[in-house]
Amino acid sequence: MRRSLSFAAFATGAALAGALAGAAQAHSPYLLPTVFDVSDRKLVTVEGSFTESFFTPEVVMKSDAWAVVGPDGTRKPLTATNLRELALVEVATEAPGTYRITSGQRTGRTAKAVLVKDEWVFIEDPSKAPAGTTPVDMQSLTLADVYVTRGAPTKAALEPIGKGLEFMAVTHPSEITTGQDARFVVLFDGKPVKGQAITLHGADDRYADAKAAPITVTSDDQGRFTIKPNRSGVYQIQARYRVAPTAADPVGHSYTYALTFESLR
């Protein structure tokens, strides 16, 4: 049975973060195109950044793996222009169909983390780690995607990579409709992830009276999850998946995947 929570308020890890004074505040990644429907143009520009307030860029998303997967499924590298707060890529969209613009798997910083009640939590000062925990090195790995479509949506660009953390779209991202279920599957190395938390952010932080808390849904036994946008606009969904250090690999890995989409009536 598929489990979903349609826009119930969610504040993830608040009590835990409060208990760990000095814990680093995580920025969330996103890609944002100038338009999602590129039917009337042959070029789209996409910005990539990290932020704490969607979709206001704060920290540039640098990557050596920028790419576009075209309607025929062919992957081609892209060259980004890196500014201080954001990266920009230009993508030719002359052929009809769906394009997947991606940051590629990018390696971030390595920080200290501790395991508290089965949850990995980053800390800035290892000497202040909670009693009974052992700080380990945890390296950040980020992948961000966005889909744009010229004409009718196509599926070749939606094929999973099969490596790292990602969402497989069951509902085509270019066909997400306000007030209707949109379905995905969360995968790690190509396999469904059970019980994975996925958070959703809207693009109204700048104009809201108070910053809205992210919303969460949880994947079922087959890695499936459902979201239902309750108003038209731009959204970001993301998940974080931590892999503990092992004897073969003493450095842990923190995977983040983010997908931006537009919901219309």
Residue of 78, 76, 75, 104 whose CA lies nearest to 89:
78
| Domains delineated in the chain | 14-263 (2.60.40.10)
Look at residue 51 and tell me whether its pLDDT is greater than 70: yes
Q: pLDDT tens-digit profile of 129-163? A: 888 888 988 999 999 999 999 999 999 999 999 99
The alpha carbons of the chain give a radius of gyration, in whole angstroms, of: 18
Look at residue 16 and tell me whether its pLDDT is greater than 50: no
CB distance 145 to 258 below 8 Å: yes
Q: pLDDT tens-digit profile of 238-256? A: 999 999 998 899 999 999 9
Strands 87-92 and 81-82: what pairing?
A: antiparallel
**Burial state string for 35-62 with b = 16 or more CB within 10 A and e = fewer than 16:** ebebeeeeebebbbbbbeebbebeebbe
Distance between CA atoms of residues 144 and 10, nearest Å: 22
Could you tell me the pLDDT band of residue 125, with boundaries at 50, 70 and 90?
Answer: confident
Transcribe 108-122 into DSSP letters. EEEEEEEEETTEEEE
What is this structure's pTM? 0.86
Look at residue 21 and tell me whether its pLDDT is greater than 60: no
Could you tell me the pLDDT band of residue 208, with boundaries at 50, 70 and 90?
Answer: low
